[in-house]
Chain A
């Protein structure tokens, strides 16, 4: 395994922290703790650090919820998570996972719809979603979490879908704080 080239590519992409593999509840907490500590040592503004942490939590918990609903095994439930610093000093939080093609298409459409909303419209959408009954979640779930991430981002969320085999695709989402 060429660790040096991995390291160089992380440095090149300004990746502060990344993870690839099956993600458990305790891993989410531990990586989250490391992320908070790291942001603290970087003297990130408290509100930016809070937003990065919040987006990281929503993304990883969405992946866990989805994998559980689908009954995916550990291999299918693997998540790829990266937190990076952009060259303009923004933080970028990205996460990707396997999804059923149709769910992925719904998610991309939902992200694109949110990108058309300004902050007041996002707030309104958030409050509407919050008031929907617990069991009336959208088929792909993730409704409130996506809106929350969009509200905490300084740019529209970016989603992409890469088709793989067996009607599955790799869904990836990036939030820029």
Chain B
């Protein structure tokens, strides 16, 4: 039996990223700035989706991130998500992260790199040429 929960399609705002999930494709994507005052009001549903996917499916899960700036509250929530992937990876699941960033924004590349230090699954940090 397959369980399927409804996918997320959250529009972004000035302080919150746009978030889309695709259960069929095993894909979760987030773009933009993330600095809500209480990041868990936003990220709890994302964490819930990731938990359900990993518990109910055996297929790979891929995160496609294009986050630009994260406040510390969002950093904490993202770490929870990366930790869930790490736990799954350690039980043999196929998980991966791609984080695209504007080549001029070295701060977000540094942050992504600090997350990557605690992950043993494939975690690509990819510069893209910024529009000027």
Contacts and interface: CB of A to CB of B under 8 A. Distances in A.
Interface of A: 25, 29, 33, 46-47, 50-51, 53-54, 57-58, 61, 64-65, 123, 127, 130-131, 134, 144-145, 148
Given A29-B15, A57-B35, A61-B37, A51 B107 contact: yes
Contacts, number: 44
A25 B37 contact: yes
B87 interface: no
A145 B73 CA distance: 8
B51 interface: no
Contacts of A145: 72
Interface in B103-122: 104-108, 114, 118
A134 B14 CA distance: 25
Contacts of A54: 69, 71, 107
Contacts of A46: 104-107
Interface in B69-95: 69, 71-73, 75-76, 79
A33 B14 contact: yes
A131 to B, nearest CB: 8
Q: Specify the main secondary structure of chain A where it touches its partner.
A: helix
A35 to B, nearest CB: 13
A162 to B, nearest CB: 27
Interface residues of B, number: 19
A61 B73 contact: yes
11 contacts: A25-B37, A47-B107, A50-B108, A58-B72, A61-B35, A61-B37, A65-B37, A127-B114, A134-B40, A144-B72, A144-B76
Given A64-B37, A130-B79, A148 B72 contact: yes
Contact of B105 (A50, A58, A61, A144): A50
Contacts of A47: 105-107
A58 B100 CA distance: 24
